[in-house]
Amino acid sequence: MCLSTAYKNSKDEDAVIARYVSKIDVKGDSVVLTDVMGTETEVPGTLSFIDLTGGTVIIRVA
């Protein structure tokens, strides 16, 4: 199972939005992240970078 950490704008520990992300859904101008426990986090922004092997997701937030 590949789980990822989602960051706001850059891969920086201070920019973590969610950890153990197992599902990503794009809804209009938002990105919905669902972690392994089923908790959803909705972030207004767009996907900027995804590295599934490295477990990194970066969301561009204005």
Those residues with Cβ within 8 angstroms of residue 32's Cβ, 6 or more apart along the chain or in another chain: 24, 25, 26, 40, 41, 42, 43
Q: What is the pTM of this model?
A: 0.93
- What are the pLDDT digits (tens) for 6-60? 999 999 999 999 999 999 999 999 999 999 999 999 999 999 999 999 999 999 9
